[in-house]
Amino acid sequence: MEKNGSILTVWLNRPQKKNALNAAMIGGLMRLAQDLQNDESTDIVILKGRGDCFCAGADLEWFKQAIALPENERVQILKALPIFLRTWNHLPQTTITVGHGFLYGGALGLLAVSDFVILEQNSHLRLSEVLIGVIPASIAPYLIKRMGFKRSKSLMLSAEAFNAQLALAYGLADKIGSLDKLDEIENRLIENIQRSDKQTRRMLKKFLFNVVNKEINEDLSEYTAKSLSDALGTELAQKQIDAFTNPSK
């Protein structure tokens, strides 16, 4: 990990295994996610991969170990990834994932639970689980949220490879660029994000997760009005609105 002011960069660091996800890596990421829940000093969390690719999905040795276990133990071990994904998805910080090279299987789940995704333009993506007789169960809910049911289903069933340009079109990526431009793209995005106060963005993320699946009705109207009222009640909002409405001050 690298900390630069309020920005934390986290590296997947098993380049000899193409940063494949195993129990140790997921456990380490989960401990970090838990620590970040109450970390007021960190504003933006960036996830990257060492070596020639971001992440090749789940480590098949981890799957082999799980196969050898009784079913109840196997389920408990395999729960680690969906629990981590849910926790990362709801981090209070603004999250960015920067991907390059191969991104297979579970790697796409890491993209789907990020607020922003930057991909190197020659990245190679694939939901490859069906090719080895398994299903992308842990990551499917997040991919469906990100890309929609029909698109996600097609990519899962076909295991068809797709590139960064299609990932952008499908809504899985937000920005793409050449390898030598990724840092520039990342820095511009961070600059744009940090024009707003981190507490406002934290409030917004929490609000969005609370309303995303709600029925539009009177209760929701009440909740949205209360949420806006709470935001207006903050010292920051009052100061900013006063500055906009009284530019001569």
Which pLDDT tens digit goes with each residue over 29-43?
A: 999 999 999 999 999
CATH architecture for segment(s) 2-193: Alpha-Beta Complex (3.90)
The SS3 call for residue 162 is strand
Query: pLDDT value at position 244?
Result: 87
Question: Length of the chain, please?
Answer: 249
Contacts with 49 (C-beta within 8 Å, 6 or more apart), sequence order: 11, 12, 15, 19, 55, 99, 100, 101
The pTM is what? 0.94
Average pLDDT estimate for 212-233: 94
Average pLDDT estimate for 223-245: 92
Is the predicted pLDDT of residue 249 greater than 70, yes or no? Answer: no
Is the predicted pLDDT of residue 159 greater than 80, yes or no? Answer: yes
The C-alpha angle 79, 144, 91, rounded to 5 degrees, equals: 55
Which residue ranges make up each domain of the chain?
2-193, 198-245
Average pLDDT estimate for 50-63: 94
